[in-house]
Structure 1
Amino acid sequence: MAATEQAAPFTDAFPAASKEQWRQKVEATLKGAPLQKLVGRTYDGSDVQPLYPRAAGKPRAFRAAGDWSVVARLDHPEAAAANDLALTDLENGADGLQIVFAGSLGACGFGLKDSAALGAALDGVHLDAGLRVVLDLPAEGQAPVAALLDLVAARGYDPAKLDISVGLDPIGAAGARGSALDWSREGPKLAEQAKNLAAKGFAKNLICADGRVVHAAGGSPAQELAFALASALAALRALEAADVDLDDARKMIEFRLAADADEFLTIAKFRALRRQWAGIERACGLEAKPIRIHAETAWRMMTRRDPWVNLLRATVAVFSAGLGGADSVSVLPFTQALGLPDAFARRLARNTQLVLLEESNLGKVADPAAGAGGLEALTDALVERSYALFQDVEKTGGLPRALESGAFQAEVARTAESRTTNVARRKEALTGVSEFPDIHEKQVAVLLPAPAAPAAGEKALAPHRVAEPFEALRDLAESHSSRPKIFLANLGPVAAFTARATFAKNFFEAGGIEALGNDGFADGAALAEGFKASGAKLAVLCSSDTVYAERGLEAAKALAEAGAHLYLAGRPGEMETQWRAAGVRNFIFVGADVLTQLREALQAA
């Protein structure tokens, strides 16, 4: 080839496919089912299409720096131990600390006991060395803030050169506790606190608009965003009423959001927040500037069972928060739901971020989702829906009043109830818990066991993990003198029963009921003998529709006569009456209420 010639692009060898051609192929694959079957739906009511065209767009307001900050949690109740863990994190790649106090939104049952522990916990930690510090304050946060001021003064630091997010958040604290909030008194008090800090040289990131409380309570992305926006606007108004210049006031506000394993919605949520707050700034007559957003991997998605899968969930959450534009990220270690994480769990949490940053270089591109049709569409939908919710809150008189009436909490509760239903039916799968459970998992180490969750007020946005109902069933199963068992009544050849037997095993072991497998039986008499020999009280008939039609009823009768509390793997269809007459108590299939079935099975076992 001549030096001046260029090879044709590789893609030129393939003709471009039109959307109509794609549709024809999909319709053929669906075999008559409507294309709508491929359309998903978010908890905010937005459709998620199976295919999007490229979107025209450009990177929007993003974090000011390239990489996000790797923030490690400092939450050990004992100051000396917390200090040891924090120094290890900082010496091995973390460039920030989230100082968690007991009773704060991010405490997860632990945290520094009181403000007196702060100095010892930060011994040897050089706050003036470019370290990002995020305070997670309890409801009454004046003492920890005062302790921080004393520490800064004692060490001779210039506050203007420190990167500290103070985290004043009376609205989030009131929402978490379900307590009354007199904003006519608390708003001016908050503004006065911020002004006092500014007078001492702390001019930025003083007040926190924290959406984590909504996410942990089961809320949707739009509800989390609406809460954060309304909280920030309430703070902005309070500062303006206290004669703080709006340009100075907006610098005092930072945001915190939860990042979970729904990567597309998490990316869209962080992008949407920047767009929305930029619009509010412009409405205030200000030029939009980048805001500070801290992300924390979600408490709601953590599991006590098969906790190793939490590593995967956390990786997706960090990936999504980073690509969505978070300025800093903290990761709940994979054992957080079990208790206080040890150094090993903390190392994995830290390295989750470091690998994504230093090996995958995810922080090097500003707004990599820009122009991606699906992500742009999700971002637009979230902006529209959350802004509508935000306006509804404003119409009621602002977020403090909406929380006082309980209207906002009721909206979140409805979303949480819908999510609970989907989890119960495994429409929202929990790997390692409701799907692919490991009932023989090995225990993992923690420094301290997790304490019981504190009682929450009637109007509280109380945190809960979506895995809790399944975990309660596993605990119940293990409280028996011997683990409950179910006999897999596999009928016919291996090819006939394998799919449904595998489904049944996962189904019942999600509730801690051990499935006893075998190579299959030829007829009902053999099945009955196998069931008696197993020692189980429960049985589930597993085979293909063809075998069911030929030998199913006879097999069911034999198992029932042998004393089996009998289930059938598959939908009953038109034969439900015959199946029940033959002794089948219930049916397991995709979309069934798994939790209800498992509770009944444990009672029968």
Structure 2
Amino acid sequence: MEDRPLAELFEPATAERWRQAVEAALKGGDFEKRLVSKTADGLRIEPLYAPAEPTTQPVRAPGPWRLAQRIDHPDKEKAAAQALADLEGGADALVLVDAGAPAARGFGLDLTDVDGLDAALKSVMLPLIALRLEAGARGFEAAGLLRQLVERRGDDPAELDVDLGLDPLGVQAATGQAIDGWEAKLAQALTDFSGYRGRVALSDARPYHEAGASEVQELAAALATAVAYLRALEAGGHDLERAREAISVLLVADADEFLTIAKFRAIRRLWARIEEACGLEPKPLRVLAETAWRMMTRRDPFVNILRTAMASASAGLGGADSVTALPYTLALGLPDAFARRVVRNSQIVLVEESNLAKVSDPAAGAGGFEALTAELTEKAWAAFQEIEREGGIAASLASGALAGRIETVRKARERAVATRRQPLTGASEFPFLAEKPVAVLDVTPREAAARADGALPSRRLAEPYEALRDASDAVLAESGKRPAVFLANLGPVAVHNARSTFAANAFAAGGIEALGNDGFSDPDALAEAFKASGARLACLCSSDKFYESDAVPAAKALKAAGCTTLYLAGKPADEAALKQAGIDGFLFAGCDLLALLTEAGERAKG
């Protein structure tokens, strides 16, 4: 018997042998279409990468990332209770949200005086935590209140880890309103907060991400904003060394772990280029993360727990210094203690139990991550230079140039959502019409402030499907029944089941209830069952073979029975004959499902 390592008994694994095995498995299928995907920026995601030499790059300081929680209850006493519960439950950073901030989501505090700020942070020992202010256009005023509070309490500024979150250009992007004289105010804030740890200026990428920006566009906008703040601080009398230490960046983490990790690694490389161009030795940039508002759904919100956990892990693995995860019910209302606990504990598991923060740069040397990080860095640098040629981020926002480029990407993504090439679990895929409401606090959200011309939009991907579900709920509340579609199943269950299941799930995404059955072989029996269902819509479901012989007589029978709109599940070759028989539309993978459901919802109501 041979006494050799097992691996030596097999031929060496090579890329060529792997490709041959893949081609055989595809059986003539297109390799590019099946196994190669592309990002919104056109970057290729290959199915296989060879190991890569680790690229030296700036990383997070040793130790775990900070677990940050939003404090956004409008009642100051309840906000203080939120803060204490979060800190006692494992958080070590707080984000104090003012009601006027673009990312307040209809809630937040009215930070108008130092007494109110003191009340919101009652019993919170500021030297023991990290604090970030999120006050939007009121950022400079809120920073002044914080300084008064520190003086009132007698805390040593050198012991405080504070991010003032001053982001006048982010406010301009989100609201369309420019803040006059922000350059001088920013420089003065740095002077006023000399001696404090933390950062003064925040380059916040959330407005761009919520508007639909790609990863490259988000990185470029964040970098251009940070450079604008660097210039403003230098022009205000601060040396570059001090100025660069006063700036932090906030990027958005979403559920695509590959792109999120690569994006967070890329921003550190990009900032190091800026530092080198300024003649500075690169130092670690403070990189903050918040999970994506864009990916949150109101329907089946429990899926948001998985989305935010994946996003948090990806941001941490990518090197974020602090991660704020949005509670899973935030799109529905002000989250209660349970939702806050869930999102807090998810990060605790990642850091304390899974030990994801033990390695400083776990993606180093992984071929896919190294390639994607390098490509994002180069493309983002080129996009940053384009913004600079337009006069900088403020000028690009004012002219609408950046918004136009983002809109192009957003429309392509909206098309992908409408056709389910980008599926949304619980919204466009696997919807559950009988889901129960989840609990949120009984706090009425504020009306969203009007956005001026030039403001970037803020949209969640699931909103179009949620609007259809809301309309269905309204019909249910008024009539006791949802809009319905009769599944005209042809043949036995084994024949029609695949397409009837597909159709039922597709219609449910628009709030249309599917009325199923075991299938029919007689057109007259099918027509009678349709009449008895009370539905106005029907959808033929069967195999292509059954369609060839049974679809036309079935369609004619259904139309004669009063079917106002008839769909067919599938994409047959001879659509013309089927349309002539009465088929009004075709439901298939890749069709514009959103348009089909919008039409079906209107016709189902009569």
TM-score exceeds 0.5: yes
Indicate the SS of the match to 1:141. Answer: helix
Query: Hey, what does 2:571 align to over in structure 1?
Result: 571
Query: Hey, what does 1:160 align to over in structure 2?
Result: 158
| Residue correspondence of structure 1 range 100-249 to structure 2 within 5 A | 100-116=97-113, 117-129=116-128, 131-180=129-178, 185-198=181-194, 201-202=195-196, 204-249=198-243
Query: Hey, what does 1:455 align to over in structure 2?
Result: 450
Superposed CA offset, 1:368-406 (max 9, x none): 111111111111111111111100011111111111111
The answer to whether structure 1 residue 89 and structure 2 residue 83 are counterparts is no
Query: Hey, what does 2:523 align to over in structure 1?
Result: 524
**Closer, same or farther: CA 10–211 of 1 in aligned 2, 3 Å:** farther
Query: Hey, what does 2:257 align to over in structure 1?
Result: 263
Contact 1:178–1:457 (CA<8 Å) still a contact in 2?
A: yes
Contact 2:309–2:346 (CA<8 Å) still a contact in 1?
A: yes
| Residue correspondence of structure 1 range 377-456 to structure 2 within 5 A | 377-447=371-441, 448-456=443-451
Contact 1:337–1:450 (CA<8 Å) still a contact in 2?
A: no
Indicate the SS of the match to 1:536. Answer: coil
Contact 1:333–1:341 (CA<8 Å) still a contact in 2?
A: yes
4+ residue runs of structure 1 moved beyond 6 angstroms?
none
Superposed CA offset, 1:394-427 (max 9, x none): 1111111111111111111111111111111111
Q: Which amino acid aligns with 2:379?
A: R
Query: Hey, what does 1:546 align to over in structure 2?
Result: 545
Contact 2:136–2:166 (CA<8 Å) still a contact in 1?
A: no
Tell me the matched-pair count: 593
Superposed CA offset, 1:83-105 (max 9, x none): 11111111111111011111213
Contact 2:500–2:542 (CA<8 Å) still a contact in 1?
A: yes
Superposition deviation, residue 450 in structure 1: 4.4
**Closer, same or farther: CA 180–168 of 1 in aligned 2, 3 Å:** closer
| Residue correspondence of structure 1 range 17-36 to structure 2 within 5 A | 17-36=13-32
Superposition deviation, residue 52 in structure 1: 1.2
**Closer, same or farther: CA 449–33 of 1 in aligned 2, 3 Å:** farther
Superposition deviation, residue 252 in structure 1: 0.3
Quick one: distance in 2 between partners of 1:243 and 1:454?
35
Superposition deviation, residue 34 in structure 1: 2.4
Q: Which amino acid aligns with 1:22?
A: W
Contact 2:183–2:236 (CA<8 Å) still a contact in 1?
A: no
Quick one: distance in 2 between partners of 1:336 and 1:389?
32
Structure 1, unmatched stretches of 5+, are: 1-6
Q: Aligned residues: percent identity? A: 54
Greater shift after overlay, 189-198 or 418-427?
189-198
Quick one: distance in 1 between partners of 2:588 and 2:447?
34
Superposition deviation, residue 571 in structure 1: 0.7
Superposition deviation, residue 549 in structure 1: 1.2
Quick one: distance in 2 between partners of 1:8 and 1:326?
45
Q: Which amino acid aligns with 2:584?
A: R
Quick one: distance in 2 between partners of 1:187 and 1:553?
71
Superposition deviation, residue 142 in structure 1: 2.3
Indicate the SS of the match to 1:70. Answer: strand
Indicate the SS of the match to 2:96. Answer: strand
Greater shift after overlay, 238-247 or 578-587?
238-247
Query: Hey, what does 2:586 align to over in structure 1?
Result: 587
Quick one: distance in 2 between partners of 1:312 and 1:427?
20
Query: Hey, what does 1:3 align to over in structure 2?
Result: none
Indicate the SS of the match to 1:353. Answer: helix
Query: Hey, what does 2:46 align to over in structure 1?
Result: 49
Superposed CA offset, 1:221-264 (max 9, x none): 11111111011101111111122111111100011011111111
Superposition deviation, residue 126 in structure 1: 0.6
Contact 1:203–1:251 (CA<8 Å) still a contact in 2?
A: no
Superposed CA offset, 1:290-338 (max 9, x none): 1111101111111111111100100110011010000011111000000
The answer to whether structure 1 residue 319 and structure 2 residue 313 are counterparts is yes
Q: Which amino acid aligns with 2:170?
A: G
Quick one: distance in 2 between partners of 1:348 and 1:561?
54
Superposition deviation, residue 181 in structure 1: 5.5
Quick one: distance in 2 between partners of 1:287 and 1:203?
20
Quick one: distance in 2 between partners of 1:90 and 1:203?
20
Contact 2:98–2:108 (CA<8 Å) still a contact in 1?
A: yes
Superposition deviation, residue 60 in structure 1: 2.4
Superposition deviation, residue 57 in structure 1: 1.1
**Closer, same or farther: CA 143–460 of 1 in aligned 2, 3 Å:** same
Contact 2:253–2:312 (CA<8 Å) still a contact in 1?
A: yes
Greater shift after overlay, 312-321 or 38-47?
38-47
Indicate the SS of the match to 1:350. Answer: helix
| Residue correspondence of structure 1 range 505-524 to structure 2 within 5 A | 505-524=504-523
Query: Hey, what does 1:295 align to over in structure 2?
Result: 289
**Closer, same or farther: CA 508–188 of 1 in aligned 2, 3 Å:** same
Superposed CA offset, 1:504-554 (max 9, x none): 011100000011111111232222122112111111100011111121211
Superposition deviation, residue 203 in structure 1: 5.3
Contact 2:161–2:197 (CA<8 Å) still a contact in 1?
A: no
Quick one: distance in 2 between partners of 1:391 and 1:11?
49
Quick one: distance in 1 between partners of 2:528 and 2:449?
50
Superposition deviation, residue 476 in structure 1: 1.0
| Residue correspondence of structure 1 range 320-399 to structure 2 within 5 A | 320-399=314-393
**Closer, same or farther: CA 18–151 of 1 in aligned 2, 3 Å:** same
Superposition deviation, residue 39 in structure 1: 1.4
Quick one: distance in 1 between partners of 2:263 and 2:208?
13
Q: Which amino acid aligns with 1:457?
A: A
Quick one: distance in 2 between partners of 1:545 and 1:66?
59
Quick one: distance in 2 between partners of 1:86 and 1:323?
26
Indicate the SS of the match to 2:136. Answer: coil
Indicate the SS of the match to 2:357. Answer: helix
Contact 1:203–1:252 (CA<8 Å) still a contact in 2?
A: no
Contact 2:162–2:197 (CA<8 Å) still a contact in 1?
A: no
Quick one: distance in 1 between partners of 2:347 and 2:250?
18
Superposed CA offset, 1:340-360 (max 9, x none): 000010000101100111111
**Closer, same or farther: CA 450–12 of 1 in aligned 2, 3 Å:** farther
Q: What TM-score does the superposition give when structure 2 sets the normalisation length? A: 0.95
Q: What TM-score does the superposition give when structure 1 sets the normalisation length? A: 0.96
The answer to whether structure 1 residue 60 and structure 2 residue 60 are counterparts is no
Contact 1:59–1:366 (CA<8 Å) still a contact in 2?
A: no
Quick one: distance in 2 between partners of 1:12 and 1:87?
59
Query: Hey, what does 2:465 align to over in structure 1?
Result: 470
**Closer, same or farther: CA 317–459 of 1 in aligned 2, 3 Å:** same
Query: Hey, what does 2:69 align to over in structure 1?
Result: 72
